[in-house]
Amino acid sequence: MGFKDQIDFSKLPQHIAIIMDGNGRWAKGKGKLRVFGHRNGVLSVRDIVEASVEMGIGYLTLYTFSSENWNRPRLEVSAIMELMVSTIHKEIENFMRNNVRLNAIGDLKMLPEKCFRELTWAIDKTSANSGLTLTLALSYSSRNEMVQAAKNIACKVKSGELNAEDIDERTFAANLYTRNMPDPELLIRTSGEYRISNYLLWQIAYAELYFTPKLWPDFRREDLYDAIIDYQKRERRFGLTSEQLN
Ligand code: IPE
Ligand code: IPE
Ligand code: MG
């Protein structure tokens, strides 16, 4: 079990991304409906956000709802959307108190009107906060994000704003939803699945991956400490040799 005092605060990841998975299985294990798992998952979100604020993490990006998740049973989708509206409403005071700036990435036009309104209201209200940037990936698909980036770039080339020869990695990154964020150094996935599920494919090129069997509603700050401690033990080589680094 990770203890906060084992963390080297001078070497914190600036940006942590999390795939919050396992709500449904958690509920099923308790003989409850899946939505019970989503509701309890919100408690984990609150705890992880608070712990990130306390540690001074700059960016926390949570995979909240994927584009593929729209294909789930209608009732589950609407329950998640309702939960989002009520959670944002309840959490806004905490965000203000903790200096959290809310942000969202994804195809937000797909969200139900009420959800979209609540979200944009909260993003606006917290926009001057300067602490943790909390980004919800909502109706998010990384491939879609990259296709949109390619389209934007193509339009700029067509209009003469950009030369095709000048397109580089920076141009591409600047056309993603995450244009104003550093890449995540640490990606955590709960629930024992070893896959990325269309999340931040470009941005995690050199992220350290951390997988835990814990289901999301059981994932609390001690588990986040564990992940950070594990991350800090790794040697990030970026293609170099160990000798070059030392
Ligand atoms: C993650 O938990 C939350 C969302 C995808 C919205 P799941 O709902 O995927 O839970 P499992 O993976 O079925 O247990
Ligand atoms: C990924 O979880 C999306 C979110 C956590 C919001 P899923 O449960 O949708 O992913 P798969 O289907 O297991 O890959
Ligand atoms: Mg899942």
Residue 22 alpha carbon, nearest atom of ligand 2: 8
| Residue 204, phi then psi, degrees to nearest 5 | -95, 15
234 phi, psi to nearest 5 deg: -85, 155
Cα 75 to averaged position of ligand 3 atoms, centre (Å)? 16
| Ligand 2 closest atom vs CA 197 | 14
Amino acid 126: pLDDT:
98
Ligand nearest to the CA of 18: 2
Give the per-residue pLDDT at 47.
98
Centre of ligand 3 from the C-alpha of residue 191, in Å: 8
Superfamily the domain 13-142+183-232 falls into: Decaprenyl diphosphate synthase-like (3.40.1180.10)
Could you say which residues of the chain have pLDDT below 50? none
- Per domain, the residue ranges of the chain are 13-142+183-232
Question: Tell me, what's the pLDDT at 174?
Answer: 98
pLDDT at 3: 85
pLDDT value at position 61?
99
Cα(first)–Cα(last) distance of the chain, in Å? 30
Residues in a beta bridge with 197: none
Burial string for 163-179 (b: 16+ CB within 10 Å, else e) reads eeeebeeeeeeebbbbe
Give pLDDT, residue 2.
66
